[in-house]
Amino acid sequence: MHEPRDSGLSSQQQRMGVEPGALGDGEVGYRGVTACSAVGISYRQLDYWARTGLVVPSVRDASGSGTSRLYSFRDLVVLKVVKRLLDAGVSLQNIRRAIEALRSRGVDDLAGITLISDGTTVYECRSPEEVVDLLQGGQGVFGIAIGGAFKEIQGSLSHLPAESVGAVESAGPVAEPEPDAVGDELAARRARRRAG
């Protein structure tokens, strides 16, 4: 997911109402605080996942103190999938394997994938037949249609700020505002130190 390779929307994405430019083609980036709000995770989780390489922002990674990460729409969808798998009880180690497997296959059409899990293993299904086969084999317990995550993220982003990547790159590094609603004790300490 480091370098989005969208050459256009698939017919499935067009039917789902995925907007051109919404798949991480480099036109728009979302700051960490916006990503947290859209996905429903804490800033601490987002930071940890970026630092450990689980979901690294594909638009711009942080490059030292005072810079901010910028996530693509596709990154937000992956973050949403990670959150759903965690909420379902899948270990972070197994989630990491699943995300890396998606990356290694060069998956361009995430909207066409359904992830099925038994709580331990995560299976990738690309057709309704594969989903049925897994369920009949007794392996699947829950599923995540990535196309549904696309729609959720689009809805969440409709009232959140985005940044033009060209404008951000020419302006240079910008400090990420401290998240105020994520209950991050470390952020509160930093704010108190700065205040005096």
pLDDT one-digit tens code per residue, 148-196: 888 888 888 888 888 877 654 444 444 444 444 444 555 666 667 777 6
User: b/e per residue, 64-80, with b = 16+ CB within 10 A?
Assistant: eeeebbbbbbbbbbbbb
Expressed in angstroms, the distance from the first to the final Cα of the chain is 41
Of all residues in the chain, the percent with pLDDT exceeding 90 is 19
- Identity of the residue numbered 38: A
pLDDT of residue 20: 40
Distance CA 40, CA 157 (A): 12
Determine the pLDDT at residue 18. 41
Cβ atoms within 10 Å of 129's Cβ, excluding its own? 9
- How many Å apart are CA 187 and CA 182, to the nearest integer? 9
Question: Token pair for residue 185?
Answer: 């004790």
Contact 28, 58 (CB under 8 A): no
Residue 124: strand, helix, or coil: strand
> What φ, ψ does residue 124 adopt, rounded to 5°?
-100, 125
Between residues 124 and 34, the one the model is more confident about: 34
pLDDT digits 0-9 by tens, 42-79 = 999 999 999 999 999 998 888 877 778 999 998 999 99
Instruction: Determine if residue 89 is left, alpha or beta; phi over 0 gives left, psi from -120 to 50 gives alpha, anything else beta.
Output: left
